[in-house]
Every structure is written in structure tokens, then in C-alpha cells.
Chain A
Amino acid sequence: MHTMGVDLGSTTAKAVIVDGTGAIVAHRVVQMGAVSRRGVTAAIEDVLRESGVERGDLGVVIATGYGRRLVPDATRTFTEITCHARGVAAMSPGTSLVIDIGGQDSKAIRIDSLGLVDDFAMNDRCASGTGRFFDVLARALECRLEDLDDLALAGSDDLEVSSMCATFAETEIISLLAEGSVPADIAASVHRAVAARTLGLVAQVGRANPVVMTGGVAHSRAAVHFLAKALGTEVSVPREPQITGAYGAALLGLESLQGETTVIGHAVEREHRHTGQLANGHDCTTCSLGQAKYQPIDVELWTASVAADRRP
């Protein structure tokens, strides 16, 4: 028996199919327009094709994410808060704090050992510190989004950035450029300010360790670095940080079929430990975080890892 979790976010659609043990059979992330029905259809079709599972053979389909109510033929919905908690508990057992930053929103979720939500906080309507914010930053600095990490990690983060509004930040960045500030320093300082903003969410639920970061922004080495630095602790990033919500949804579907409520879950299918971001500047060759080239940085406070099933 297989189940599918579908996470229709603001800028991406994710689909995950798990087998009866909770192991991931296939997953897909599709970039799309805002809450796109076409994107979610593509993600579902792709993941079905990859898994070889027929749509009619799926026990249940659980939808999550901002657009969860738009997912076709979903058996039921769960919020992304519940699903990220569930997915991270399976991928990284023992996690206490999940920081999820997606295209338009950010969340801090404190979870217990069973992956149940103890408390959560999310941004209201401000896109500050979300993927959207980094789009604006890259545009203002006239660099490609994929180059922003290197730029920020090479800069000094001591410029004062007061506005965290995605709209007004562009104006402020232009002002800093006009004053002669170096783009790398601006990028670093904005990342530092965004991390401080995220700490505000964390403060609402209370700090806890270990910390796992999920969502599209977790792909950003700079965002993770500055968050870890601000938190003063390690931040782990799953191998596929965008699929934890869909994965959690699929596991919740499995629970509903099996009637089990205390299953920690089956972790991702293979263990991976991020070996990049070391002080010697070596790349990680096996995960998405390490594939990009970057300058050596001080990573004293930061490691990224994907936790596999740590159960005995």
C-alpha cells in the first residue's frame, strides 16, 4: 500500500509517495507560478510516473501547504505546520525545533519526540525573510539568485539594515549602494537582518535544540549560515528540505490507513551527511547544498546534515 503527500506551496508544488513502511518511493519538486494548479498536477503526474504507482492504487492522498484546498482528489488536508513537524520527526528523529522558510512565509515549529506540534509561530502577511525577500535582494543587487549565497558569504555583515519589508528593502538597498557600500556587505547584512527577524519567530515558541531548517530557503547556504550564527547553534538541513511537508503528509496518510498514531516514521532512504561548508572550503559532492562552488567561510557554528533513520 502506498500513500501520497502533496504540498502546494506559494511558489512550488511538491509530491511524495511512500510505501507501507514509510520509505520514500519517489518525490518531485516543481517550480511554478503562485499556487499553481498546473504545477501541482505536474508534480503529481511526475511522482506517479517515477514511482510506477497507479493513481488508483494509492491508499490516501493528503494535501498540505498554502494551496492545500486546491489539490485535486485529496482525501483530506493537514496544515503544513503539522506536516513539517511529522516529516522532520521521521527524517531527523529527536528534532525539537523546525524552522521552515518557503516562498512567501516562514514558521518556527517546536515539536515533541513524536513529531507532535508543541507550539508554532508564523509570519502574518509580511514576506520578510522568505524566498520572495531574497528574490528582491538579488534583483536589487543585480545578481542571479543562485549567486547570492557566494556574495553574502563573502561579505561583512555589519551594515545597518533597518527595513525588513520586502517592498521597502529594495529602496534601502539602493540607498546603501548609493552610499558606496559593497554589494557583498549589503548581501551579508541583509541576511543577518533576516536571520534576526526569524529569531523573533523562534522567540515566540521558545528556543530548542536540535534545530532543522526546511523549505526552499534552506537550499541557501548563506541563509542557513546566518540563521545558525544568529541562533548560536547548529542547524541541520535535510537532503531535500522542500519535501518534508509532503513527506509528513504522506506519513500522516499512512498513519490513517494503519491506525497507528505513535509511529515516528521511516526515515529517508539513505543516510547522508553534509560534508561541505567546512572551514577548509571543500565542497560536498553528494548533496544539493554542496554542489555550488563557494568561498571558504567561517562555519564554526554551522553544520548541515541529513539525518537518516537513527532508530536501532
Chain B
Amino acid sequence: MNAPLHRLAEVAADPDAYVVAWKQSHPGRKVAGVLPMNFPEELLHAAGFLPVVIQENRDPDSDGRVILAEFYCGYTRNLADQAAKGKLDIYDTYFVADHCVQLLGAADVMRFKAPGTPIYFGQFIASMSEESTARKVRNEMEHIVGEVERGAGTPIDRERLAESIRLYNTDRRLLRMIFDARREGRIHLSGAQMQDLVKSSMVMDKAEHVALLEQLLTEGIAAGGSQARVKLHLSGHFCHAPKQELLDLIEDCGAMIVDDDLYHGRRYITTDVREDLDPIEALSTWYFDRNVNVPCPTRVQHDADWDTYLSNAVSESGADGVIVLMAKFCEPHMLLYPELRKMMDERDTPYLLIETEHEGLPMETIRTRIEALVERISRKATVAAAL
């Protein structure tokens, strides 16, 4: 593994260590913990914070296990556990801009367990096609700007915000270059390595991340993997990273991940903030554009839906099948899944649903299911070629 990849993997594996080290090397600066998935981090960056999307950790839930009900998703229960164990004390403040009930439950636990740490809320409207939506989003963005300024104790300089937007756009553009190259088979990085690229972006200082990506692209990435492998698209997981052993397992079963719509994947990097608009207006527009580029089941939009997006993405990448990674008890995903399934049945795309949890995935059973999907696709292709 080359040096930039190694460093990005290191940060992705232990975000807390990066945060602690960053604070030591930046005395007087604050770290803002952000909950997924629509908070405009550029605002925090421009206000002088290090914005960090708080990640699920690897520890078994213990102290916080009883705080949230069993039917909360693994990510939110793990956030509660981290809060109960004091693991989130490394953050100076928290910001939330989404209305997922489970995520708000985790935010409540964070507030309860660390009453001295300010937590700021916004709530973007989920109904994207109403006449009033644009105005409401703009108003909410103004509200969030106010909250960030309140947290920072100083107004956000518009020119600095424009610079932050340019920096974040650069990071997203570089990441998209790598994702596009993978989709087109020009490079080969494992699913875990691709996740490292995005996860580290959610944690690191953006300028540092951009520098590492540029170094990685300059040094070059190994050429495409075996074309004989079954090509799969990974779909789902809106808030937290799928476990890397699961990604490794998929590849170990003879598949090659060619594209995804994961939050720790294309969903996070797909949309740039327009640089030709007033920055606040541009961030409001970004909120709409994101849901067009990779639609989210938590949003309702008449002219954009996830199933159509997924169908197009599979066509574009030439994926032979889809693995849907669904966080157990993720209600928006559970509710939309029948639509995805219907679409995949209609286009005769083989698919597999894997329900994930924070602890205790039955890996050998999952291996059998993934291998069966791979065998199903490859045997059908072989027979079709012979007929």
C-alpha cells in the first residue's frame, strides 16, 4: 500500500485518534461533531471548526446499551453507547440537520450525557417538491448559519465560506475521479480502500485530505482487477460505514464492487456546491441537487427517486447484480426497499439483501448468500453464452 493510502486508511480506522491529535496540534481550535447526512460542513469549516462526521466505532455496546430501545438502528445505539462511555467528549460541540427520529434519539442521549457540550439543531424539509420548499430550505440554511455562528462565537466571513466551498468541491471532485475510474475498470481499489477514502474525508482536515488525494493520484493507482469477476453495485447504508470485513467478504466470494450509492461512497461525494452563486444560496441549492444526483429515501421528490437512480447506475457501471446493505431498523430504507426490489425484478437484475447490525453479523451465513448470488450470476452467464 502506498503512503497516502496508508495514511487515509489509518485515519479511517481510528477517527478518534485523529481528532485528539488534531486538537493537540491546533491549540485553541474546536472540533465539531456532525451527524449525517445533510449538514453543510463547509459552514463549520469556514467558521474555524474541524467538522467531523461522527463514526460508528468497533466496540461492543455496553454502558449505553439500555438507553435506546432495541429497535433503534445499530449506528444510533452505538452513538448512545459512545456518549455513555464519554467517547464523544473529544468534540467541543455537535451539529445536526436531519430529522431521522432515531438520530434525534441519539442526539438526545448525547445532550443528556454531556450537558456541557452545546448541540445545535437544524431541520431541512423532507418534502422537496412543494412550492414553498425552496424558501423553507433557504430559511433553514440561514438558521443553521446563525447556529454555527453562535457556536463559533463569531460571524462567518462570506469570502472564507466561498474558499471552504472551493476546497470541499476539490475534495469531492478528486474522490469522484477515483470512483469513476473504478466504475470504468481503469483502477483497482478494494471496497475497503474506497471506503477509507471517503471515511477519512469525513474526519480529516479537508486541505490535508486533498493533499493526500493529489499525492495518491500523482503516484498512480493500480490498474483494474480481474474482469472475470462478477461485478456488483452496493446500495444502502445512509449514515454509517458498512463493516470492512463485509466488503472484504463480498470480494472474497468472487465479486468485484464497481460502484455504490453508500453514504461512505458516492452519496457523500456526488454533489458539488455551486461556486457561481452567493454561498448561502449555493448551499441551499446543494441540498436540492444532492437529492437529484443520489436520491435519498428520507426525501420525497416528484422528479427524482432512488429506484430510477439505481437502475441507471447499474446500467452505467454494467454491474451484474446489486447487494443491498440495509441497517437493521432503518425505517426509510425498509419502507422503500419494496420499490427497489420491484425495479430490480423488472429489469431482471439479481440482487441480495443483507441486513447489518452493529454486532454479531453471521459471516459464514452471509458468505453462503453472497457466494450463491455470485454463482447464480456466473452460471446463468455461462449457460447463456453456451446456448
Question: A residues engaging B (CB < 8 A)?
Answer: 66, 77-82, 105, 114, 116-118, 120, 122, 124-125, 260-262
Contacts and interface: CB of A to CB of B under 8 A. Distances in A.
B66 interface: no
A122 B382 contact: no
Nearest to B364: A66
A124 B365 contact: yes
9 contacts: A80-B368, A117-B372, A120-B369, A122-B365, A124-B355, A125-B365, A260-B386, A261-B379, A262-B386
Contact of B375 (A66, A82, A124, A262): A82
Contacts of B368: 66, 79-81, 122
Interface in B331-387: 355, 362, 364-365, 368-369, 371-372, 375-376, 379-380, 382-383, 386-387
Q: Which of A79, A118, A262 has the most CB of B within 10 A?
A: A79
Contacts of B383: 114, 116, 261-262
Interface in B23-52: none
Nearest to B376: A117
Interface string B164-194: 0000000000000000000000000000000
A261 B387 CA distance: 9
Contacts of B371: 77-79
Q: Which of A80, A81, A105 has the most CB of B within 10 A?
A: A81
Contacts of A116: 376, 379-380, 383
Contacts of A82: 372, 375-376, 379
Contacts of A78: 371, 375
Given A82-B375, A116-B379, A117-B376, A124 B386 contact: no
Given A114-B383, A262-B383, A81 B365 contact: no
B365 A105 contact: yes
B250 to A, nearest CB: 14
Contact of A117 (B364, B375, B382, B387): B375
Interface string B43-71: 00000000000000000000000000000
A249 to B, nearest CB: 12
A108 B382 CA distance: 23
A122 B368 CA distance: 10
A120 B372 contact: yes
Top-7 shortest CB links A-B: A81-B372, A125-B362, A79-B372, A117-B376, A82-B375, A261-B386, A79-B371
A118 B345 CA distance: 11
Contact of B382 (A77, A124, A261): A261
A120 B351 CA distance: 10
B386 A122 contact: no
Contacts of B369: 120, 122
Contacts of A66: 364, 368
A105 to B, nearest CB: 7
Nearest to B366: A124
Contacts of B355: 124
A105 B372 CA distance: 15
B115 to A, nearest CB: 39
B372 A124 contact: no
Contact of A79 (B375, B380, B382): B375
A256 to B, nearest CB: 10
A167 B381 CA distance: 42
B243 to A, nearest CB: 16
Given A105-B365, A125-B362, A261-B386, 19 more contacts: A78-B375, A81-B368, A81-B372, A81-B375, A82-B372, A116-B379, A117-B372, A117-B376, A117-B379, A118-B376, A120-B369, A120-B376, A122-B365, A124-B355, A124-B365, A261-B382, A262-B383, A262-B386, A262-B387
B362 A124 contact: yes
B359 to A, nearest CB: 12
Contacts of A118: 376
Nearest to A117: B376
Contacts of B386: 260-262
A260 B376 CA distance: 17
Contacts of B375: 78-79, 81-82, 117
A105 B362 CA distance: 12
B358 to A, nearest CB: 15
A106 B361 CA distance: 18
A113 B152 CA distance: 67
A125 B355 CA distance: 12
Contacts of A124: 355, 362, 365
Nearest to A81: B372
